[in-house]
Structure 1
Amino acid sequence: MHVRRCLTAALAAAALVGGGLATASAAQAQALSTQAYSCHFYASGGGEYAGHYSGNTVVPSSTSVTSAGIEAQCLLSRIGYYTDSVDGIFGPHSQAAMELAQQTYNSVYHKHVSVDGFPGPESWWGLRLVAGG
């Protein structure tokens, strides 16, 4: 989080020094608007939840913030597979963490979950189960 604040300050200073307020690129706007979300864990029905999404079908977006993305990042963080800030955008780090979780389901629970890096209908159950115990 400290790095993000420093980056935001540096981008703002560069825009001002460059001769006034410059129009931010889409990537800069995304970096400036990204925030970290809190995870509030609770158990229900044998699974773990983080308070953002309680379903098991939505696939998080890799380009925008979604409640499913926040939930999945929280659960992946809980099991130690995801170490970045929880921002709700299911990008490359989130996908790599999810691939590890999917490989774990397949080896530990002898399942045949697709290792695609996204929680979806066939892998939300495993993410909630592993995070819960």
Structure 2
Amino acid sequence: MSRWKALPESLDQRVRQLVVQLRRLKDHSGLSLVSLAARTSYSKSSWERYLNGKKLPPREAVAALARVCGADPTRLLALHEVAAQAWRADRPAPAPHGAEPAGGAAPARETARAAGPPDPDDPADPADTPDTGGGAGAGGGADAAGAGEGGRRPAGGPRARTGPLVVLAALGVVVVAAVALLIVRPWQQDAAGRGTADTAAGRTAGAVTAFTHRVGETFDCHLTRTPGGLSAGRSRTTTAILGSGATGWDVVEAQCLLHHHGYDPGPVDGIVGEHTQRAVKRLQAGAGLPTDGIVGPDTWKVLRR
């Protein structure tokens, strides 16, 4: 059994759920990362990034893992679709083609270098793109034209004054973006507080606690009717895919809603176990849905009524 590294705390719960299921499938198959690389078109380093939450695996990689492990890819691909939406929401939209960020091309190139080189064995990684902007040749011509006699530029010229201004503008953009991210915290929008006291504190002060399962711990359910439907105040999701072994505040929310509708999921502990799956199947049967025991968008609609 592999000893996995802890996933990043900032990882969205929907992405975390996909990675956990991929890890379990890989462990159950007994395949090593080297074996996965040999049986798929993705390198060992790519699988390391996918299974440690550093990069969202492509849909094709998820299907390939299910194929080599002899599993049905349907549920994994459904989890991937939801995780991909969360992954895109947590990352800023790319700049329009040809646009250059504030501060010129240098900061963009520094960011690209910080992100690391692409993996040549990974089909999901884009190839390097040559720098076709106004490089040394274009810049050299401009400098030659503006230089004074003997190759020296007059002191205090326009280029000497604009350099510090460009650097200050770039620093200002970075500072504003960092402050905005700390205030909004989009990666924690679906999380809820732990326990009754922490939940109240989260509502008043905006505090958010990451879900961590503790043996024997259960949670209270206090349901209210909101514009989005019935809510236990633990999660606002209507799309999360919750199958066997899933954990998190989404599971606590679903267990509370099952209790409300008269289907006992067992202890409200934030883990999808046998009791919770049986309760979900009974709810699905009563609503005329496929009784697969997996909470998805259609089951959430019934739970939120």
| Structure 2 gap segments, 5+ residues each | 1-212
Query: Structure 1, unaligned stretches of length 5 or more?
Result: 1-30, 107-112
**d(CA) in 2 for partners of 1:83, 1:67:** 15
Q: Is the 8 A contact 1:60 1:66 kept in 2?
A: no
Answer 1 or 2: which has greater helix percent.
2
Deviation for aligned residue 1:36 = 0.3
Contact kept, 8 Å, 2:265 with 2:277, in 1: the verdict is no
**Aligned 1:54-133 pairs, distance under 5 A:** 54-82=236-264, 84-106=266-288, 113-129=289-305
Which residue is equivalent to 1:28? none
Q: Distance in 2 between matches of 1:124 and 1:44?
A: 15
Q: Give the Cα–Cα distance (whole angstroms) in 1 for the partners of residues 243 and 293 of structure 2.
A: 12
Contact 1:95 1:117 (C-alpha < 8 Å) held by counterparts = yes
- Shift of the 80–88 alpha-carbon distance from structure 1 to 2, 3 Å rule, reads same
Between the aligned partners of 2:236 and 2:247, the Cα distance in structure 1 is 16
- Kindly provide the amino acid, as one letter, of the partner of residue 87 in structure 1: D
Q: What amino acid is aligned across from residue 241 of structure 2 in structure 1? A: V
Structure with bigger RCO (C-alpha 8 Å, 6+ apart): 1
Query: Relative to structure 1, is the Cα distance of residues 61 and 83 closer, same or farther in structure 2, using a 3 angstrom cutoff?
Result: closer
Tell me if structure 1 keeps the 8 A contact 2:229–2:304.
yes
TM-score by length of 2: 0.29
1:26 maps to: none
Structure 1 residue 57, shift from structure 2 partner: 0.7
Secondary structure of residue in 2 paired with 1:70: helix
Contact 2:261 2:303 in 1 (8 A): no
Q: 1:37 to 1:57 in 2, by over 3 A?
A: same
Q: Does 1:39 align with 2:221?
A: yes
| 1:54 partner amino acid | R
Assess if the C-alpha contact under 8 Å between 2:238 and 2:301 holds in 1. yes
Alpha carbons of structure 1 residues 89 and 36: separation in structure 2 relative to 1, 3 Å: same
Tell me how far 1:127 sits from its aligned partner: 1.3
Distance 2:237 2:214 in 1: 29
Moved over 3 A (4+): none
More moved, 59-68 vs 47-56: 59-68
Q: C-alpha root-mean-square deviation of aligned residues, in Å?
A: 2.0
CA contact (8 A) 1:81 1:100 kept: yes
Post-superposition CA distance 1:79-112 (Å, at most 9, x none): 2211522001011110100001011111xxxxxx
Question: 1:47 touches 1:128 (CA, 8 Å); kept in 2?
Answer: yes
CA separation of 1:92/1:47 partners in 2, compared to 1, >3 Å: closer, same or farther? same
CA distance in 1, matches of 2:278, 2:232: 20
CA contact (8 A) 1:67 1:88 kept: yes
Aligned residue type for 1:120:
G
* 2:230 paired residue number: 48
Q: Percent identity?
A: 34
Q: Give the secondary structure class of the aligned counterpart of 2:225.
A: strand
- Which has the larger Rg? 2
Aligned-residue offset at 1:53: 1.1
